[in-house]
Amino acid sequence: MKKTGKSLSSKATEALTKTETSKSLMSIVADVMAIDQRLEFILGEGGQFEHSDVEEYITEVFQVPQEQLAEKVNSYCWLIASLEANAQKFEDRAEALKARAVADTKKAEWLRGRLMEAMRLLNLEKFETRDFPGIRIKEVGGMQKLSVCTLWQGNLDSVPARFKNETEIPAHVEVSLDNKAIRKALESDGALYDKPDDDETPPVKLAWLEPRGKKLVIQ
């Protein structure tokens, strides 16, 4: 009787080989997933990859028979490529979100400025609506900006000694404006002027505090 096809023994061997290969591939996938999950856990805990148990685990992963090594390395490289692709995707998304945030901030600032200007034209310091009962124009807090004339900025010799700092450093003395002393004088005088001897020449404004800015508060 003539035999056709594969023998039962060869079919059994082939089935067994496929089963073993499938188990091997499943094991490789499990190893890769375990590595990824462990790295994710370490990052979440704020730890470092080096000198962690995952380092020892990866070493054990590659301690396999030679015939399985290629698949192990292949899967390992797929994990690396996947993580790098995800990183690039998230970076691109972050840049797009950042650009969107900048654009929306600029639009909101412009609209806020237009509303504040409208309230000024209507002589309104406060306003309220159904959803926003705390709309008001408010002075910006903090220290007022100090300004000095170009004469003082470009020629410190023209600045009175009480408004200068002198710091001795090797080879010379460094001279600079004493902003603290100038600001203290302005708190009482409002502004510092250079008053000429004759009455026809107008006084020169030497230093002053800039008026406080205003902002619109929406609550």
Q: How many Å apart are CA 12 and CA 55, to the nearest integer?
A: 40
Greatest CA separation for the chain = 137
23 pLDDT more than 50: no
Per the model's pLDDT, the better-predicted residue between 48 and 166 turns out to be: 166
pLDDT band at 123 (very low <50, low <70, confident <90, very high): very high
Q: Find all residues with CB under 8 Å of 83, minimum gap 6, and list them.
A: 36
Cα 156 to Cα 48, 119, 175, distances in angstroms: 55, 44, 8
DSSP per-residue string spanning 13-58: HHHHHHHHHHHHHHHHHHHHHHHHHHHHHHHHTT--STTSHHHHHH
Residue-wise pLDDT for 186-195, tens only, equals 887 778 887 7
pTM of the model: 0.53
Q: What pLDDT does 121 receive?
A: 95
52 pLDDT more than 80: no
Check: CB of residue 210 under 8 Å from CB of residue 147.
yes
Residue-wise pLDDT for 62-95, tens only, equals 787 887 788 878 888 888 888 889 889 999 999 9
pLDDT band at 26 (very low <50, low <70, confident <90, very high): low
Q: What is the mean pLDDT of residues 49-62?
A: 69
CB neighbour burial string for 123-139, b if at least 16 within 10 angstroms, e if fewer: eeeebeeeeeeebbbee
Strand-pair category, 135-139 with 126-127 = antiparallel
